[in-house]
Amino acid sequence: MSRVIFLTDHRQAPAQVPAPAHLPMPGEPLLDTRGRPLRDLRISVTDRCNFRCTYCMPRAVFDRNHEFLPHRDLLTFEEIAAAARVFVAMGVRKIRLTGGEPLLRRNIETLVALLAELRTPEGRKPELTLTTNGSLLARKAGVLKAAGLDRVTVSMDALDPAVFARMSDSDFDVARVLEGIEAAAAAGLAPVKVNMVVRKGVNDDQILPMARHFRGSGHVLRFIEYMDVGSTNGWNMTEVVPSADVVARVAKAWPLRAVQDEEMGRVAARWAYADGAGEIGVISSVTQAFCGGCTRARLSPEGRLFLCLFATQGHDLRELIRGGADEAGLMRALAGIWQGRGDNYSEHRAQAGPDLTAAGGHKIEMSYIGG
């Protein structure tokens, strides 16, 4: 029997896109209710993945009977590029392609090439990046760079093969992920960022081996607190390893110094090795909420716009795009949506604790909207 997981509750979706308070002039920031500008756009190009990471796509839910989005429902590359052009005109300076696993989307380099043609009102190319599990990266790194991609981030949760297999719930060889990282660096997609989700009692024994491996490599290892994204991963606060503990463990082995970075929108706190062997980052959404500086919007594979990773509903841009809305109409829609944004889930979680997660309803899944 097929099992359907509701990625978002369309019954709760706004009936219409709110009207903008005003349309910013070219180059003027588009601000939400908390004064946060729109600067970053994450585009999920598919809800499919070839891994079943326990914190993202647990196999008990995303099994062979799971119904993924049909291809006809996905935004075409041309539709994505048309939407992205409006986002860039309204202030976006960084675009990240994600998923699911974005390299599973056939001819993804074609989309990269379309996005690489975009220019900001100042005439600059927005930074173009991609997050991947690395399984297809060795094969695709060269064509992605040639198409205009600037950089990649690789999700890799362990160096030990057995722990990697347990975290990814796959039989994929971690050595091939490492090959993909090196291929990306060789192709010029550097510095490569490596994201490790840390889960207490599952892979936290990999913190030091991962740090040791990537020290001096030119790659940037980032440790991410296990988050309550979606409604299917069985999140429990007791399995969260606070970033402060991670930094303390690494610093005990190799002294660190804090790197000051005040740019709004930066989610990772940076720590440099005192001996000059590079740096690490920590992303602390659970213990140190950074909602106040969040400048991200997220576009789902079938064109729904979400304003928070922990959202329960989104706005349907595909209906506007396929309904014939012109660029000016999309700009008005985006301005109205963003100007009404007040999302700050992680701050609420910090105040309410796990009770907020239990009462929060069906949040969108990370495999659907990207991390």
Quick check: is 163 in a domain? yes
Binding site per annotation, positions:
42, 49, 53, 55-56, 96, 100, 131, 155, 193, 227, 291, 294, 296-298, 308
Binning the chain into helix, strand and coil, the percentages to the nearest 5 are 35, 15, 50
pLDDT of residue 347: 65
Provide the whole-model pTM.
Answer: 0.90
Q: Taking residues 351-367, what's their average pLDDT?
A: 63
Decide if pLDDT at 236 tops 90.
Answer: no
For 324, residues 6+ apart whose C-beta sits below 8 A from its C-beta are none
Binding site per annotation, positions for S-adenosyl-L-methionine:
55, 100, 155, 227
Q: Tell me the pLDDT tens digit for each residue of 103-133.
A: 999 999 999 999 999 999 999 999 999 999 9
Binding site per annotation, positions for GTP:
42, 96, 131, 193, 296-298
- In what helix (H) or strand (E) does residue 334 lie, and over which residues does it extend? helix 327-339
Quick check: is 2 in a domain? no
pLDDT band of 195, cuts 50, 70, 90: very high
For 326, residues 6+ apart whose C-beta sits below 8 A from its C-beta are none
Q: In this structure, are strands 151-155 and 193-198 parallel, antiparallel, or unpaired? A: parallel
What is the number of domains present in the chain? 1
Q: How many CA atoms lie within 13 A of 212 on its CB side?
A: 11
Q: Quickly tell me which residue has 């999140």 as its tokens.
A: 235
Quick check: is 3 in a domain? no
Q: Is 211 in contact with 253 (CB distance < 8 Å)?
A: yes
Query: What is the CATH number for 245?
Result: 3.20.20.70
pLDDT of residue 45: 97
Domain carrying residue 279 = 10-369
Tell me how crowded residue 333 is: count the other CB atoms within 10 A of its CB: 23
The secondary structure of residue 3, as a DSSP letter, is: B
Give burial (CB, 10 Å; 0-12/13-18/19+) of 1: exposed
Ranking 20-34, 123-137, 205-219, 291-305 by mean pLDDT, the lowest is: 20-34
Quick check: is 5 in a domain? no
Name the residue among 236, 220, 307, 200 with its Cα closest to residue 268: 220
pLDDT of residue 232: 67
Query: C-alpha distances in angstroms, 35 versus 31, 253, 269, 297?
Result: 5, 40, 22, 15
Q: Tell me the pLDDT tens digit for each residue of 165-184.
A: 999 999 999 999 999 999 99
